[in-house]
Chains A and B, each alone.
Chain A
Amino acid sequence: MNDQKPFITVDHLWYTYTDGTLALSDINMKIFDGEFLAFIGQNGSGKTTLSKCLNGLFKPTQGDVIVDGLNSKNTPIVQMVRRVGYVFQNPDHQLFNNNCWDEIAYGPRNIQLPENEVKERVEEAAKVVGLDESYFSEHPFFLSKGLRQRVAIASILALRPKVIIVDEPTTGQDARQSIEIMEFLKRLNEELGHTIVIITHDMPIVAKYARRVVVMGKGKILADGNTRDVFRMSDILSQTFLEPPQITQLAQRCASLGFSPSTLTVEEMLEQFYQIIGVN
């Protein structure tokens, strides 16, 4: 699919929790620079476990995860988190400092950067997420959920990882907040060149933003391909009880009228409608 060198290579990865639960079995995948991916699947399908293997938080039980040429098995976590950042689903599980500045500075300090560079990184990360200076002294817990999520993302950005994994970026957010956070991730992807991985149950969000979709079920990858192709795999989706976005389903039901079963958005649906009835 791509002749460039992959940034992440997952090679026959197996992961078993200490209590014996098999969470991942024989995962193989490559992630390239600049991709925008979505991991989808039911709760317990292994999405979060896989993500934590990608940033070295979990070490493979068997197999390898190679990030930027480094094998996660023998690379210190400090090196891994500079390359792959993971933003928790619930920002409250990640935020623990008494003010936003310390929160964002925690990562850079932890990897032992000099204080002047810490300052530079915090300011840069805060600017990217649109957090102005007046928030620096605020306690994160008194901010809205949307702002807390931004602080959480900023604290990851400050480590300048190439790949940013965001676990359920839109859960509990209303429509406007969801769009804001997704447009922000899109900007990180398109303008700043970060590879973005989202873990989500929100299929319209996947349709609109992700260019590649990885479907997981029972610890295995069931499908991996571009978003349009994956949303056409109705067998695999229904196996995992996922449904493509409503508009895609309508297009699929009306395929005999001439609609493409891989329609992703309302705009595409409208375009086809006008073509079918012969109006420009």
Chain B
Amino acid sequence: MSNVIIQIKNYSWQYMNSSDLALRNINLEIEEGKFIGIIGPNGSGKTTLAYSLDALIPGQYNGIKQGEVFVYGKEVEKYAKGELQKSVGVVFSDPESQFTAMTVEDELVFGMENLGLSIPEIKERLEWVTDLVDLEPLMLKPPYEISGGQKQRVALAAVLAMMPKVMVLDEPTSMLDPISRKRVFEVLAQLKKEKRNTIIVIEHSLENLIPLADRMILLSNGELILEDETQQFFQNIPLLLEKSVYPPGVLLFFYRLFEAGYANSVLPLTLEAAENNLIKIINEKINGVNR
């Protein structure tokens, strides 16, 4: 585990005025360049965990912290103000909470200026991100006048433009329609392939997340219940169901086949794999009977 970028040790957080722990004794290591999916019911601590990674917690919230959160080997609270945010960018589930500028273009440029990038560099990244997230028609509009889905795309673009080493996306597609949602996941897939960013996505929409995620994390009631490579993670379907996480239909179908002894425990994570598996199982069964 040489390239661990995030290390969380015995970490608990309790918001002021709350009688329960929002996160309870979390231990977790995340390697550089991995794509991590975080799932769990509402209220399970996913957003709290995201905020803890760029020191918004404890920085902007009152509460009691126990344990430590390290980014690049340094405790998040030990970073000078603004330093950590160069490495860790968070896209909030409520995009309005991150907007500060009067036009979408200014919104995108704001973060890059803060990083002290040169004007040619800013121009280049602006073009890249505008094209990538398809924002051209919105550039001169005020961020508060565009639709919820458009806001969400601007919020994503603003963080992408800063190219932080670690990107944390909190339900980035909750307000998007299916095509925009697909497009966001295509962008993430491209980042994963071409850049070496560490990408952490909190998401309810598992169908899009599963094919991309290297590892998955399940949180429930503030506890880390399960953390594993995606393939292994979904071998625990009874546990997931018990925690009210419902896997996509195809995974559930193959899990039922596995339970009945018709499929092996390696469940297909993509439609292509599912199709191939199913053809194989049926052909073997039918030919086997004939022989």
Cβ contact within 8 Å between B177 and A201: yes
Contact with A along B243-276 (1 / 0, CB 8 A): 0111011101100110000100000000100110
Cβ contact within 8 Å between B275 and A43: no
- Please give me the residue from chain A that is nearest to B244 by CB atom: A176
User: What residues of A have a CB within 8 angstroms of the CB of B252 in the complex?
Assistant: 266
Cβ contact within 8 Å between B177 and A175: no
Whether A171 sits at the interface, judged by CB under 8 Å, is: yes
Cβ contact within 8 Å between A250 and B177: no
Whether B195 sits at the interface, judged by CB under 8 Å, is: no
Known A174-B244, A242-B178, A254-B275; contact A145-B42, beta-carbon cutoff 8 A:
yes
Known A175-B204, A176-B41, A266-B249; contact A42-B179, beta-carbon cutoff 8 A:
yes
Question: In whole Å, how far is A52's beta carbon from the nearest beta carbon of chain B?
Answer: 16
Q: Using a Cβ–Cβ cut-off of 8 Å, how many residues does chain A contribute to the interface with B?
A: 35
Known A174-B42, A250-B275, A257-B279; contact A266-B256, beta-carbon cutoff 8 A:
yes
Whether B282 sits at the interface, judged by CB under 8 Å, is: yes
Cβ contact within 8 Å between B285 and A277: yes
Q: How far is the CA of A257 from the CA of B285 in the complex (A)?
A: 12
Cβ contact within 8 Å between A42 and B177: yes
Cβ contact within 8 Å between A250 and B42: no
Q: How far is the CA of A248 from the CA of B262 in the complex (A)?
A: 20
User: What residues of A have a CB within 8 angstroms of the CB of B262 in the complex?
Assistant: 273, 277
Cβ contact within 8 Å between A273 and B257: yes
List the count of A-B residue pairs having beta carbons below 8 Å apart.
90
Q: Which of B130-157 contact A (CB under 8 A)?
A: 147, 149
- Please give me the residue from chain B that is nearest to A42 by CB atom: B177
Whether A5 sits at the interface, judged by CB under 8 Å, is: no
User: What residues of B have a CB within 8 angstroms of the CB of A113 in the complex?
Assistant: none
- Please give me the residue from chain A that is nearest to B171 by CB atom: A172
Question: In whole Å, how far is A176's beta carbon from the nearest beta carbon of chain B?
Answer: 4
User: What residues of A have a CB within 8 angstroms of the CB of B123 in the complex?
Assistant: none
Whether B207 sits at the interface, judged by CB under 8 Å, is: yes
Cβ contact within 8 Å between A175 and B245: yes
Q: Using a Cβ–Cβ cut-off of 8 Å, how many residues does chain B contribute to the interface with A?
A: 38
Cβ contact within 8 Å between B278 and A250: yes
Whether A177 sits at the interface, judged by CB under 8 Å, is: yes
Whether B182 sits at the interface, judged by CB under 8 Å, is: yes
Question: In whole Å, how far is B48's beta carbon from the nearest beta carbon of chain A?
Answer: 15
- Please give me the residue from chain B that is nearest to A177 by CB atom: B42
Known A175-B204, A250-B271, A266-B253; contact A257-B282, beta-carbon cutoff 8 A:
yes
Cβ contact within 8 Å between B253 and A247: yes
Cβ contact within 8 Å between B271 and A253: yes
Cβ contact within 8 Å between A270 and B249: no
User: What residues of B have a CB within 8 angstroms of the CB of A254 in the complex?
Assistant: 275, 278-279
Q: How far is the CA of A43 from the CA of B177 in the complex (A)?
A: 6
Whether B174 sits at the interface, judged by CB under 8 Å, is: yes
Whether B286 sits at the interface, judged by CB under 8 Å, is: yes
Question: In whole Å, how far is A2's beta carbon from the nearest beta carbon of chain B?
Answer: 30
Question: In whole Å, how far is A38's beta carbon from the nearest beta carbon of chain B?
Answer: 13
Cβ contact within 8 Å between A270 and B256: yes
Cβ contact within 8 Å between A241 and B249: no
Question: In whole Å, how far is A217's beta carbon from the nearest beta carbon of chain B?
Answer: 11
Cβ contact within 8 Å between B147 and A43: yes
Cβ contact within 8 Å between A243 and B246: no
Whether B56 sits at the interface, judged by CB under 8 Å, is: no
Q: Which single member of B176, B180, B250 contacts A247 (CB below 8 Å)?
A: B250
Contact with A along B153-181 (1 / 0, CB 8 A): 00000000000000000010011111111
Question: In whole Å, how far is B43's beta carbon from the nearest beta carbon of chain A?
Answer: 8
User: What residues of A have a CB within 8 angstroms of the CB of B256 in the complex?
Assistant: 266, 270
Closest 9 CB pairs of A and B: A247-B249, A241-B179, A176-B244, A277-B285, A175-B246, A43-B177, A174-B41, A174-B42, A253-B275
Question: Using a CB–CB distance below 8 Å, which chain B residues touch chain A?
Answer: 40-43, 147, 149, 171, 174-182, 204, 207, 244-246, 248-250, 252-253, 256-257, 262, 271, 274-275, 278-279, 282, 285-286, 289
14 contacts between A and B (CB under 8 A): A43-B176, A146-B42, A171-B175, A203-B178, A242-B178, A246-B248, A247-B253, A249-B271, A250-B271, A253-B275, A254-B275, A266-B252, A266-B253, A266-B256
